[in-house]
Amino acid sequence: MRYAQGGGLTDERRCFREKLRMEAAERFALGDENSVIAHDLRVSVRSVQRWRK
């Protein structure tokens, strides 16, 4: 089964994930490494890699 939007996340959870992505974007601009960003935001390195793309 496919989910229409956000992989089945609630609006609140989607908002939370978007805030994480925006924080990561700020860190990309500062030149931080993927692994450091992932550790600080408590997400996987793979997630940070996808966001950076």
pTM of the model: 0.80
Q: What is the pLDDT of residues 11-50, one digit of tens each?
A: 899 999 999 999 999 999 999 999 999 999 999 999 999 9
* Alpha-carbon span 30 to 48, nearest angstrom: 14
Given a cut of 80, is residue 4 above it in pLDDT? no
Residues in contact with 45: Cβ distance below 8 Å, sequence separation at least 6, in sequence order: 34, 35, 38
Locus of tokens 């229409």: 4
- pLDDT tier at 6 (50, 70, 90 boundaries)? low
Closest residue by Cα to residue 23 from 10, 42, 6, 9: 42
Greater pLDDT, 30 or 2: 30
> Which residue has 């989910």 as its token pair?
3
Residue 1 pLDDT more than 60?
no
